[in-house]
A and B are shown apart, each in its own frame.
Chain A
Amino acid sequence: MTGPLLELQGITKRFPGVVANDDVTFSIGPRQIHALLGENGAGKSTLVKIIYGVMHADAGSMRLDGKAYAPANPSDARANGIAMVFQHFSLFEGLTVVENVALGISAALARQGLRERILSVSTAYGLKLDPDRRVGNLSVGERQRVEVVRCLLQGPQLLIMDEPTSVLTPQEVEVLFATLRRLVLEGCSILYISHKLEEIRALCHRATILRGGKVVGDCDPTRETARSLAEMMIGTALSPPRREVGRIGPVRLKVEGLTLSSAEQFGVDLQDVDLDVRAGEIVGLAGVAGNGQAELMQALIGERLADRPTAIQIDGVAVGGRSPSARRALGMCFVPEERLGHGSVPDMSLWENAVLTGRARMNLGSFGFIGVSRAKDFAAKVVAEFAVRTPGVERTARSLSGGNLQKFLVGREMLQLPTVLIAAQPTWGVDAGAAATIHSFLLALANTGTAILIVSQDLDELLAICSRIAVIAGGRLAPARPVDQLTTEQIGRDMGGHGPSRLGREQAHA
Chain B
Amino acid sequence: MLRLEPRREPAQAMFYLTPFLAIALTLLAGIALFEILREPPLEAMRLIFIKPLTSVRGVAELLVKGTPLILIAIGLAIGFRGGIWNIGAEGQFAIGALSGGAVALAFYPATGWWLLPLMSLAGIAGGAAWAAVPALLRTRFNANEILVSLMLVYVAVLLLSWLVHGPLRDPDGLNFPESRLFQTALPILIDGTRAHIGFLVAVAAVGLAWLLLERHFLGFKIKVLGQAPPAARFGGFSDRRLIWFCFLLSGGCAGLAGLFEAAGPVGQLVPALPAGYGFTAIIVAFLGRLHPVGILFAGLLLALTYIGGETAQIAMSLPSATTAVFQGMFLFFLLAVDVQVNYRLRWVSRRSPPAAARETGERPMSQTAPAHSMEH
B217 interface residue per 8 A CB criterion = yes
Q: Is the CB of A368 within 8 A of B216?
A: yes
Q: Is the CB of A370 within 8 A of B216?
A: yes
Q: Is the CB of B361 within 8 A of A84?
A: yes
Q: Is the CB of B238 within 8 A of A355?
A: no
CB 8 Å contact bits of B213-238 with A (1 = contact, 0 = none): 00111101001100110110111111
Bound Cα distance from A92 to B358, whole angstroms: 11
Q: Is the CB of A324 within 8 A of B234?
A: yes
Q: Closest B-chain residue to A338, C-beta based? A: B230
Interface size on B (CB < 8 Å)? 35
Q: Is the CB of A342 within 8 A of B230?
A: yes
Q: Is the CB of A343 within 8 A of B368?
A: no
B37 interface residue per 8 A CB criterion = no
Q: A75-B359, A343-B231 are in contact. Are A89 and B364 (CB under 8 A)?
A: yes
Bound Cα distance from A359 to B359, whole angstroms: 38
Bound Cα distance from A326 to B235, whole angstroms: 10
Q: Is the CB of A72 within 8 A of B352?
A: yes
Within the complex, what minimum Cβ distance (angstroms) separates A88 from chain B? 4
Cβ-defined partner of B215 (8 Å) among A74, A94, A343, A372: A372
Q: A341-B366, A368-B217 are in contact. Are A74 and B359 (CB under 8 A)?
A: yes
Within the complex, what minimum Cβ distance (angstroms) separates A390 from chain B? 13
Q: Is the CB of A324 within 8 A of B366?
A: no
Q: Is the CB of B217 within 8 A of A348?
A: no
A458 interface residue per 8 A CB criterion = no
Q: A93-B368, A93-B371, A345-B224 are in contact. Are A356 and B231 (CB under 8 A)?
A: yes
Q: Which residues of B have CB within 8 Å of A328?
A: 236
Q: Closest B-chain residue to A85, C-beta based? A: B361
Q: Is the CB of A54 within 8 A of B360?
A: yes
Q: Which residues of B have CB within 8 Å of A334?
A: 234
Bound Cα distance from A84 to B33, whole angstroms: 51
Q: Is the CB of A107 within 8 A of B355?
A: yes
Within the complex, what minimum Cβ distance (angstroms) separates A89 from chain B? 7
Bound Cα distance from A494 to B216, whole angstroms: 49
Within the complex, what minimum Cβ distance (angstroms) separates B7 from chain A? 11
Interface residues in A296-322 by Cβ distance below 8 A to B read: 301-303
Within the complex, what minimum Cβ distance (angstroms) separates A2 from chain B? 29
Bound Cα distance from A103 to B356, whole angstroms: 9
Q: Closest A-chain residue to B10, C-beta based? A: A347
Within the complex, what minimum Cβ distance (angstroms) separates B61 from chain A? 37
Q: Is the CB of B217 within 8 A of A365?
A: yes
Cβ-defined partner of B359 (8 Å) among A73, A303, A348, A399: A73
Q: Which B residues have a C-beta under 8 Å from some C-beta of A?
A: 9-10, 211, 215-218, 220, 223-224, 227-228, 230-231, 233-238, 352-353, 355-356, 358-366, 368, 371
Shortest 7 CB-CB contacts between residues of A and residues of B: A324-B236, A75-B356, A325-B236, A86-B361, A88-B364, A90-B361, A342-B230
Q: Return 30 A-B CB contacts under 8 Å, by A number.
A: A54-B361, A74-B356, A75-B356, A76-B356, A90-B360, A90-B361, A92-B365, A93-B368, A93-B371, A103-B358, A106-B355, A107-B355, A136-B368, A324-B234, A324-B235, A341-B364, A342-B230, A342-B231, A343-B234, A346-B228, A348-B223, A348-B227, A355-B220, A357-B235, A368-B216, A368-B218, A369-B215, A369-B216, A370-B215, A370-B216
